[in-house]
Amino acid sequence: MLLFNVFGDLFRDRSLSGIAKAAWILFLIVTPYLGVFVYLIARGGSMAERQMAQAEKQEAAVRQYIQGAAGTTSVADEITRLAQLKDQGLLTEAEFTAQKAKLLA
């Protein structure tokens, strides 16, 4: 399992050249246990940083998708919409006040 994490990290790393990646992969295939051990010592810290950066990118993408799908509006926009409904006579003053209090709570 750790070997697959190391392979994934190698392909995710943009700072290594293609030759360096090929050398690491060859080393990992020929001697997997020693290769993983050496890789973790040599590049383990930056491996964690790359995983955190990838997780942050995924979290930001998920949040952006959820906000777009939910179609959320701000409280000020909702109060403006309620005021327009009240001005049109579709809401009474009491209904407007109750909905406004609910939004501000």
Q: Structure tokens of 93? A: 């003053």
Q: Structure tokens of 104? A: 């501000």
Instruction: State the Cα–Cα distance between residues 41 and 20, nearest whole angstrom.
Output: 16
| Residues 48 and 85 reside in one and the same domain | no
| Residues 50 and 81 reside in one and the same domain | no
Mapped onto helix, strand or coil, the DSSP state of residue 16 is coil
| Residues 49 and 78 reside in one and the same domain | no
What pLDDT sits at residue 103? Answer: 84
Q: What is the mean pLDDT of each run of 10 residues along the chain (105 residues)?
A: 90 89 94 94 88 91 82 79 89 89 85
Q: Structure tokens of 77? A: 């926009």
Contact 3, 32 (CB under 8 A): yes
| Residues 55 and 83 reside in one and the same domain | no
What pLDDT sits at residue 28? Answer: 94
| Residues 62 and 79 reside in one and the same domain | no
Q: What is the tally of structural domains in the chain?
A: 2
What pLDDT sits at residue 71? Answer: 66
| Residues 54 and 100 reside in one and the same domain | no
- Give the total residue count for the chain: 105
What pLDDT sits at residue 72? Answer: 62
| Residues 83 and 51 reside in one and the same domain | no
State the residue range of the domain holding 56: 1-72
What pLDDT sits at residue 68? Answer: 75
| Residues 80 and 103 reside in one and the same domain | yes
| Residues 46 and 77 reside in one and the same domain | no
Contact 25, 8 (CB under 8 A): no
What pLDDT sits at residue 104? Answer: 86
What pLDDT sits at residue 57? Answer: 92
